[in-house]
Amino acid sequence: MLQEYTTFTPIDEQTTAQAELDSHIEAQAQEIAPEPEIQFIDLDGFYTYEAQLAGQVIATITHDCEDFVTQPWVVMVGEVEVHRADTWANCANYIQWHYKQGTLAKLRTTSLEKLLDKPFDELSTLDWQRLKDYEPHSAELLAA
């Protein structure tokens, strides 16, 4: 008759208790304040996307078919180009990674009054969206 021997490695109770506590704290933190996910909203069916976090636009992804044919997808923060890639997914990964690292450029916005002074052909999609939501507070702006 062959006997089987099993060996047990001793488990430190302190390590087990600490792991359980850490797991419990992490689960509670996610229930209380879950980390919001970045959502990518398709604006025009293919060429323009907004990266939104809790309803706020943090970046846009656009397709540039005129320049840089090998890297047509562009990440823009505000009106500044921050990254180019060959696929939309690479741009989305860039935004997610840099946001989690805290290195994504901050959105610099111009005032709505300055947007009204810009020529229409120079307005970006984000500018148009901001102007659609704009309600002037001055009667002078309404008359103009």
Task: Compute how many other C-beta atoms are within 10 angstroms of the C-beta atom of residue 81.
Answer: 12
pLDDT at 47: 87
Which pLDDT score is estimated for 62? 92
Question: Cα–Cα distance between 99 and 93 in angstroms, integer?
Answer: 10
- At 136, the pLDDT band (50, 70, 90 cuts) reads low
The residue whose two tokens read 């850490």 is: 22
Locate 35 and state its tokens.
């980390």
Going by the DSSP 8-state scheme, the letter that residue 107 receives in this structure is P
pLDDT tens digits, 24-39:
887 777 677 667 789 9
Q: Is the pLDDT of residue 84 over 90?
A: yes
Do 51 and 92 meet the contact criterion of CB atoms below 8 Å apart?
yes
State the pLDDT at residue 137: 64
Please give the single-letter amino acid code of residue 50. E
Q: Are 81 and 74 in contact (CB under 8 A)?
A: yes
Alpha helices in 4-81 (DSSP H): 13-32
Give 109-120 pLDDT, tens digit per residue: 666 677 777 787
Q: Are 91 and 73 in contact (CB under 8 A)?
A: yes
Q: Residue 139: pLDDT above 60?
A: no
pTM (whole model) above 0.85: no
